[in-house]
């Protein structure tokens, strides 16, 4: 009897130790509303991508998936909120590069670490393009660089603020081309682009989504595409490499991540369902209408991509001597 009792105790103990993890892996997901935090204002490209994906995930999961905009603090406010959330899949983050790869290099006393988020998948990406004011006395990247060297300190560029993709892209241009420009930060892409169109600032790194219609209307010029290949939205515009500056790369991308310590099995489940959504022809069509290329990457490929982006922008931040704030 004693032996049977001991065996029963050991079995019960084993179940108590291992059952919770197994039950989590096998339990239905999601059991409640999923909140996707977007660390920028409603109406942004990040917000649009998040809502497209959230709508389809709600159908796949037969559960509510809501998008919550938590803007402010250079996207650090929303990112920190997700970093503090329970790692149960009920709170996720959709964000562009900064809070997922390099904000800890730009801001002191950050309340989270980008590397601690659990990668799920890339949702979409788009190359950045070099936009200049219509009357700017250069019609090619080579002419722009020559102008900057002949007129040191006179060339100005707009951005959405320190650490934004536009700021770091212009800093990369300064480093690789050996030029210096004046940084003019704005409170968003729209006012920055508006001042380029008004002729108050010389250039801006933007995405085709917003700038191509203005370019087609003759309101701005576009000199180069910051990717390895030309973009279908601008087949006539060369890449930076083709225009004489090899090695220059700058893309805007949007990714889905989970809070730190999210179990691998749960992260894989979310990845599987999200990739299924991104592979849907209707979703892919909607993203391409925004000039976005659908992502749909494995978790391993997403983590590798994050590492490559972190390495790229860390080098730019270091070589451009951008000091943390």
| Domain 32-126+252-319 is found in CATH 3.40.190.150 | yes
The domain ranges of the chain are: 32-126+252-319, 129-225
Bridge-based pairing state of the strands 118-127 and 251-258? antiparallel
Contact 224, 129 (CB under 8 A): yes
Secondary structure of the chain in HEC code, one letter for each residue: CHHHHHHHHHHHHHHHHHHHHHHHHHCCCCCCCEEEEECCCCCCHHHHHHHHHHHHHHHHHCCCEEEEECCCHHHHHHHHHHHHCCCCCCEEEEECHHHHHCHHHHCCCCCCCHHHCEEEEEEEEEECEEEEECCCCCCCHHHHHHHHHHCCCCCEEEECCCCCHHHHHHHHHHHHHCCCCEEEECCCHHHHHHHHHHCCCCEEEECHHHHHHHHHCCCEEEEEECCCCCCCCCCCCCECCCCCCCCCCCEEEEEEEECCCCCHHHHHHHHHHHHHHHCCHHHHHHHHHCCCEECCCCHHHHHHHHHHHHHHHHHHHHHCCCCCC
Written out in words, the top-level CATH class of the domain with range 129-225 is alpha beta
Which residue reads 């090899």 in tokens? 246
Identical topology for domains 32-126+252-319 and 129-225: yes
Q: Give the model's pLDDT for residue 20.
A: 45
Using left for φ > 0, alpha for ψ between -120 and 50, and beta otherwise, residue 73 falls in left
Q: What is the largest CA-CA distance in the chain?
A: 95
Q: Which residue has the tokens 């030309």?
A: 230
| Ordered per-residue pLDDT tens for the chain, 325 residues | 444 443 343 334 333 334 444 434 456 799 999 999 999 888 888 999 999 999 999 999 999 999 999 988 888 999 999 999 999 999 999 999 999 999 999 998 899 999 999 999 999 999 999 999 999 999 999 999 999 999 988 999 999 888 888 999 999 999 999 999 999 998 778 899 999 999 999 999 998 988 999 999 999 999 999 999 999 889 999 999 999 999 999 999 999 999 999 999 999 999 999 999 999 999 999 999 888 999 999 999 999 999 999 999 999 999 998 888 8
Q: Could you check whether the bond before residue 309 is cis, i.e. omega within 30 degrees of 0?
A: no
Phi and psi (nearest 5°) for 94?
-115, 125
């Amino acid at each position: 009897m004693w032996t049977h009792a001991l065996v029963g105790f050991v079995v019960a103990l084993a179940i108590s130790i291992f059952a919770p993890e197994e039950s989590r892996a096998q339990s239905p997901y999601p059991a409640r509303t999923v909140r996707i935090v977007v660390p920028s204002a409603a109406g942004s490209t990040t917000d649009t991508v998040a809502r497209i994906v959230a709508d389809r995930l709600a159908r796949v999961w037969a559960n509510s998936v809501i998008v919550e905009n938590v803007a402010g603090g250079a996207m650090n406010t929303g990112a920190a909120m997700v970093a503090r959330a329970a790692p149960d899949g009920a709170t996720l983050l959709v964000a562009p590069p900064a809070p997922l790869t390099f904000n800890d290099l730009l801001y002191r006393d950050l309340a989270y670490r980008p590397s601690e988020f659990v990668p799920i998948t890339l949702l979409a990406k788009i190359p950045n393009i070099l936009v200049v004011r219509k009357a700017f006395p250069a019609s090619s990247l080579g002419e722009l660089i020559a102008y900057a060297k002949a007129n040191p300190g006179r060339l100005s560029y707009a951005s959405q603020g320190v650490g934004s993709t536009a700021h770091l892209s212009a800093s990369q241009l300064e480093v690789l081309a050996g030029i210096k420009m004046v940084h003019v930060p704005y409170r968003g892409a729209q006012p920055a682009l508006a001042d380029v169109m008004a002729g108050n600032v010389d250039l801006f790194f933007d995405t085709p989504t917003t700038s191509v219609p203005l370019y087609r209307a003759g309101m701005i010029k576009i000199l180069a595409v910051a990717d390895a290949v030309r973009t279908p939205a601008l087949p006539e515009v060369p890449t930076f490499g083709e225009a004489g500056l090899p090695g220059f790369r700058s893309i805007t991308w949007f990714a889905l991540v989970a809070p730190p310590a999210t179990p691998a099995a749960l992260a894989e489940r979310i990845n599987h369902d999200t990739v299924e959504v991104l592979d849907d022809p209707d979703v892919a069509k909607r993203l391409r209408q925004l000039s976005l290329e659908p992502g749909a990457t494995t978790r391993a490929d997403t983590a590798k991509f994050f590492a490559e982006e972190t390495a790229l922008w860390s080098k730019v931040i270091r070589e451009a001597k951008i000091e943390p704030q």
